[in-house]
Amino acid sequence: MNNINKYISKINKLKNKKINQKEIIKIKKKFLNKNGIIDNYLKLLKLIKNKKKLGKKINILKSSILLTIKNNSNIKKDYIKFNINNDFFYKNNIYNLGSKHPITLIKDKILNIFYKLNFNIIYDNKEIETDWYNFKALNFPKYHPSRDMQDTFYINNNNLLRTHTSSIQIRYMTKNKPPIRIITYGKVYRNESISKYSFNMFHQIELLYVDKNKFLSIIYLKEIIKFFINIFLGDKYKIRFRISYFPFTNPSFEVDLYYNKKWLEIIGCGMVNQKVFKNVNYNYKLYRGLAIGIGLERLAMIYYKIKDIRLFFNNDIRTLKQFKSEL
């Protein structure tokens, strides 16, 4: 019992003193961790008869430790709430215990580029979608291959894990009228084989620009993508535009970048299909639109020179702690 009184006295002396974070971590480790002093006293409590007296002392010691930690933490309650525009923890690197995930760093960097080009950033976290928003409104025919169970994770006949962030386009256009100039992001899911270049869950950034502007054309589409890649990666990589097919754009292109002696698809894009405009009650004769979808994992591989996409999903702290924000 004398020992616990000494610990209480020692901690009480620290309550109103300024101590650094290293000392706080030492106190936590010594007293609060598994097999720490508090844990050992609780084990002792089970073996003795006079439980009440020791139990009271244990509570006093624990309360004193927690109050000491609180008084020296320097964390304001106002900052604890998540705020995408004022992320206190990342900007001030509280406790210096980690950093943003590399995918988040890449996402922030891309959003920052397009934000400076006057695209409004919106976020839609609805990862479970209906068939209408994910397929039908985007002009996917009933028997399109991507609707098969082999390609899509279905929850039931009408609900599924979204296969692309293009569904956010429909949600936004049904509630807003042109001109539209937005960029959004989120997780998407596809029933794909896992390899060094692909995974069954990944992140996309989606860009949508709709206006009466006659300059919204394939030329403008290509120029904005070239501009983005030049700002993001520099001019050291070869890129190519390859004719492709997406039901929601016409014409459609895939953008490949030459990396590690092979062409790697990084962007899907095209001019918004008139049938999509019809589905959201836009005058397709009056408006034009362009859409761009960017895969974050592959761009992160290129940016950080990582050879295997699976490293992003292993959550190995030795990998993650190497990445720091550049914004």
- Average confidence (pLDDT) over 198-211: 91
| Structural domains in the chain (count) | 2
Residue 107 shares a structural domain with residue 148: yes
Type of residue at 125: N
Residue 164 covered by a domain = yes
Whether 80 is in a domain gets the answer no
Is the CB of residue 137 less than 8 Å from the CB of residue 170? yes
CATH number at residue 226: 3.30.930.10
pLDDT digits (tens, 9 = 90+) for 32-60: 887 788 888 887 877 777 777 888 888 88
CA–CA gap between residue 314 and residue 327 (Å, rounded): 25
Residues 246 and 116 in one domain: yes
Which 3-state string (H, E, C) describes 79-139? HHCCCCCCCHHHHHCHHHCCCCCHHHHHHHHHHHHHHCCCCEECCCCCCEEEHHHHCHHHC
Please tell me whether residues 70 and 111 are part of one structural domain. no
Return the higher-pLDDT residue of 308 and 242.
242
Looking at the structure, tell me whether residues 146 and 63 fall in a common domain: no
Burial class (CB in 10 A: 0-12, 13-18, 19+), 215: exposed
CA neighbor of 28 nearest in space, from 74, 68, 76, 80 = 68
273 with 195, same domain: the answer is yes
pLDDT score recorded for residue 301: 87
Q: For residue 276, give the nearest of 266, 268, 265, 288 by alpha carbon.
A: 288
Give domain status of residue 95, yes or no: no
Q: Counting beta carbons within 10 angstroms of the beta carbon of residue 253, is it exposed (0 to 12), middle (13 to 18) or buried (19 or more)?
A: buried
Instruction: Tell me if 219 is assigned to some domain.
Output: yes
**37 and 157 belong to one structural domain:** no
- Check pLDDT > 90 for residue 260: no
- Give me the percent of the chain exceeding a pLDDT of 90: 41
* Spatial separation of the C-alpha atoms in residues 131 and 154, rounded to whole Å: 10
Secondary structure letter of residue 177 according to DSSP = P
Residue 243, domain member (yes or no): yes
Q: Which amino acid is at 303?
A: Y
**Domain stops at, among 34, 56, 74:** 74
The 10s digit of each residue's pLDDT in 159-193 is: 999 999 999 999 999 999 999 999 999 999 988 77
261 and 192 share one domain: yes
Domain check: are 108 and 197 in the same one?
yes
Task: Report the alpha-carbon distance of residue 80 to residue 111 in Å, rounded.
Answer: 23
Which helix (H) or strand (E) is 317 found in, with range? helix 317-320
Q: 3-state SS string over 54-85?
A: HHHHHHHHHHHHHHHHHHCCCCCHHHHCCCCC
Regarding whether 123 and 42 lie in a shared domain, the answer is no
In a domain, 325, yes or no: no
Q: Are 147 and 235 in the same domain?
A: yes
Q: What are phi and psi of 171, to 5 degrees?
A: -60, -40
Residue with tokens 């006079």: 50
The sign of the torsion formed by the CA atoms of 81, 106, 218, 253 equals negative
DSSP of 259-307, one letter per residue?
ETTEEEEEEEEEEEPHHHHHHTT--TTT-EEEEEEEEHHHHHHHHHT-S
Question: What is the Cα 53 distance to its own chain's centre?
Answer: 50
* In a domain? residue 96: no
In the listed set 28, 59, 74, which residue is the last one of a domain according to the structure? 74
Q: Which residue has the higher pLDDT, 213 or 112?
A: 112
Sheet (strand 239-246) strand order: 120-121, 180-189, 201-211, 288-295, 262-272, 249-259, 239-246
Asked whether residue 68 falls in the same domain as residue 174, the answer is no
- Full residue range of the structural domain in which residue 12 is found: 2-74
- Asked if the structure places residue 81 within a domain, the reply is no
Listed range (12-21, 76-85, 156-165, 189-198) with the worst mean pLDDT: 76-85
pLDDT per position as a tens digit, 115-146: 988 899 988 888 999 999 999 999 998 777 77
Q: Report the sign of the C-alpha dihedral through residues 134, 138, 142, 144, in that order.
A: negative
| Cβ-contact 189, 209 below 8 angstroms | no
Please check whether residues 6 and 116 belong to one and the same domain: no
